[in-house]
Amino acid sequence: METYPSILIVDDEPALLFSLSAFFEDENFKVFRADSGESALELLTKNSIDIAILDMRLPVMSGNEVIEEACRRNTQSRFLIHTGSLEYTLPISLRQHGITEEHVIIKPVYDLTTLLNTVNSLLQEKTVE
């Protein structure tokens, strides 16, 4: 049985959540979706998710808080930050978990191949470890 990489898309904007999910499904990913940090943490805790793409501005919990909590829970996921804020600064707490500026994607992404290449690069890093 062939296994596909799994990805979690976290965004509170329904159109963006749908379009990114559809794109990654077309690229043969097993896609999980969440529209809040709480839902994302539940999915990350209960499923083996390779990559999570998180919006930073979510209701209740920020994307930063979701990543920090997921790391505390020892999930094996890797993370990409997807933000519309040009002023976003990567906190030291996330850098300590191996997240770098290369893992920050600024919205809007006009060519989703760029996002796919970043995801595939992260998947390669994960298999090397």
| φ, ψ of residue 70 in degrees (nearest 5) | -60, -40
pLDDT score recorded for residue 3 = 84
Rounded to an integer, what distance in angstroms lies between the CA atom of residue 25 and that of residue 89?
30
pLDDT score recorded for residue 74 = 85
This prediction has a pTM of 0.93
* Residue in this structure with the two tokens 């965004």, named with its chain if needed: 11
Per-10-residue mean pLDDT of the chain, 129 residues long, equals 89 96 97 97 96 95 96 91 93 94 93 94 78
CATH code linked to domain 6-128: 3.40.50.2300
